[in-house]
């Protein structure tokens, strides 16, 4: 099974998509990676969904990526005696540490770390920004605020603090338990919420111990400011526009998205654009034109993947949502304007031998009648470098490691194939040719480019490039003996 597009689709699993039949249907409709949301579902549910994904993978013979999305710290109000109160613009309202039931003048905010970081003038956003409170005075156990935007305030609504870097670790105790559980389960990616600084990523990496790649969710203004440092220590990025749109002016999110995507691509690290992409499809079988345009914009920008959240996890039309994303991606990538935009945004890197090899592979493929670029990779680094070039021909990623193939299910254009470990380049070429022909990328009369590192099975050693015929009878001429 091959995809007729390069951008990947991430589908979140949930109550609407937890059976074998539905998960298989989502994969066949176009999902490349499945997201397990650790904010919802007990460990037994997560374990069962993981088992089903691996069964679908076995039955269909294609590597499937699994991303576990850690919840992160949740900042919430306490409870009200009457359940809810209406706040008007200009009202005074206090947040404090007292556990007494709230009323129309105050409520508990059980997070002393927030009070420790607040300063007068800071904004507090309640219920996804629907209520805006401006801090007038504050101390270690209170914040007196004026209501700038009123509304109904009620029990345990979420609180966002966009103006300060909070002295909170990205990993709560629940996250630490979940991280260990999913790493032992065998997920491929860990999505880290509430990232504010590179140290947050390094802590997760230390706990993961190489068992999963680390994907940093950029959802806070502090993360945008520290993005380059966070990117350096991350294996991938998720642009979480929903939270960014709460904590930043909504009109600033599109240019931020564009910058984040381009920098991740330049670093040869996969980047997902996520949240509210086809939200109307939670209840409707057809998306709005604005949503289709939103998905298309992310693809034109060069994102590696686009993601469905509630649309596939709890919506009425999960398969249709995946199919819609697949159709949008194929339409965009068939547009000549897409190729022009992607080529214009390509970052030229010539810092290592591997950089030169993959750049040459792209140029040869586009200057001649080459049908695919096949790259052998132990760690997967070369696959990312080839994908960074955004070649006009398919990328065939060959590896002996299931972990590498599954992680690159998230990488733009990568068609991942498991092959035996190789000792000689001629054997590698043979497997590359067979993979290209089996997937329908090439025929016997065609040629492909093959890159590899010699000696084999040494991570980061890409140092050879050959143009190889797809006629197996001619492969002996690629290398003597």
- Active-site amino acid positions: 35, 76, 217, 275
C-alpha distances (whole Å) from 325 to each of 26, 30, 57, 177 are 12, 8, 21, 33
Give kind and range of the element (H or E) at residue 151. Answer: strand 151-154
Q: Which two tokens stand for residue 165?
A: 């870097």
SS3 for 452? strand
CB 189 within 8 A of CB 65: yes
C-alpha distances (whole Å) from 236 to each of 85, 89, 212, 271 are 42, 41, 11, 6
Q: Kindly report the CA angle at 412 between 32 and 466, in degrees rounded to 5?
A: 120
CA–CA separation, 183 and 393 (whole Å)? 34
CA–CA separation, 242 and 311 (whole Å)? 14
CB 181 within 8 A of CB 211: no
At which residue do the structure tokens 């910058």 appear?
Answer: 259
Work out the burial of residue 57: count CB atoms within 10 Å of its CB; fewer than 13 is exposed, 13-18 middle, 19 or more buried: buried
- The secondary structure of 12-26 as a DSSP string is EESTTS-SHHHHHHH
β-partners of residue 142 are 96, 139
Q: Kindly report the CA angle at 370 between 364 and 376, in degrees rounded to 5?
A: 80
Q: Which pairing describes strands 213-218 and 370-376: parallel, antiparallel, or unpaired?
A: unpaired
Q: Which residues of 290-328 are buried (b: 16+ CB within 10 A; e: fewer)?
A: ebbebbbebbbbbbbbbbbbbbbbebebbbbbbbbbbeb
Q: Which residues contact 336 (CB under 8 A, 6 or more apart)?
A: none
Q: Which residues contact 202 (CB under 8 A, 6 or more apart)?
A: 233
CB 82 within 8 A of CB 155: no
Shortest CA distance to 308 belongs to which of 242, 224, 405, 406? 242
CA–CA separation, 334 and 346 (whole Å)? 18
């Amino acid at each position: 099974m091959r995809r007729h597009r390069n951008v990947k689709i991430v589908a979140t699993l949930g109550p609407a998509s937890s059976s074998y039949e539905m998960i298989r249907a989502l994969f066949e409709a176009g999902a490349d990676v499945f997201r397990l949301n650790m904010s919802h579902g007990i460990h037994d549910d997560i374990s069962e969904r993981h088992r089903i994904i691996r069964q679908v993978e076995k039955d269909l013979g294609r590597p499937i990526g699994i991303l576990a999305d850690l919840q992160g710290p949740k900042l919430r109000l306490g409870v009200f005696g009457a359940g809810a109160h209406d706040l008007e613009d200009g009202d005074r309202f206090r947040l404090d540490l007292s556990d007494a039931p709230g009323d129309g003048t105050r409520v508990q905010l059980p997070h002393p770390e927030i009070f420790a970081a607040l300063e007068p003038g800071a904004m507090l956003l309640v219920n996804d920004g629907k209520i805006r409170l401006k801090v007038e005075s504050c101390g270690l156990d209170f914040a007196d605020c004026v209501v700038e935007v009123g509304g109904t305030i009620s029990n345990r609504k979420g609180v966002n603090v966009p103006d300060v870097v909070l002295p909170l670790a990205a990993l709560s105790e629940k996250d630490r338990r979940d991280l260990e559980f999913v790493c032992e389960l065998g997920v491929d990616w860990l999505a880290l919420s509430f990232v504010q600084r590179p140290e947050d990523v390094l802590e997760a990496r230390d706990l993961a111990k190489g068992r999963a790649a680390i994907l940093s969710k950029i959802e806070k203004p502090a993360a945008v400011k520290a993005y380059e440092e966070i990117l350096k220590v991350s294996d991938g990025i998720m642009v979480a526009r929903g939270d960014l749109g709460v904590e930043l002016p909504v009109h600033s999110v599109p240019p931020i998205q564009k910058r984040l995507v381009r920098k991740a691509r330049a670093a040869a690290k996969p980047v997902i654009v996520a949240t509210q992409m086809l939200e109307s499809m939670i209840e409707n079988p057809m998306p709005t034109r604005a949503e289709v345009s939103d998905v298309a914009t992310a693809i034109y920008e060069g994102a590696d993947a686009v993601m469905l959240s509630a649309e596939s996890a709890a919506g009425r039309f999960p398969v249709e949502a995946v199919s819609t994303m697949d159709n949008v991606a194929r339409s965009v990538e068939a547009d000549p304007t897409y190729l022009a935009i992607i080529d214009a945004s390509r970052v030229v890197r010539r810092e290592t031998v591997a950089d030169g090899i993959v750049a040459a592979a792209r140029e040869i493929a586009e200057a001649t009648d080459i049908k695919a670029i096949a790259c052998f990779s132990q760690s997967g680094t070369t696959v990312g470098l080839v994908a960074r070039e955004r070649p006009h021909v398919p990328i065939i990623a060959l590896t002996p490691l299931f972990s590498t193939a599954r992680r690159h299910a998230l990488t733009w254009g990568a068609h991942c194939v498991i092959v035996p470990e190789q000792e000689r380049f001629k054997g590698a070429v043979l497997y590359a040719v067979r993979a290209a022909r089996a997937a329908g990328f090439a025929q016997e009369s065609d040629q492909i480019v093959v890159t590899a590192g010699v000696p084999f099975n040494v991570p980061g050693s890409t140092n050879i490039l050959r143009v190889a015929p797809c006629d197996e009878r001619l492969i002996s001429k690629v290398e003597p003996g």
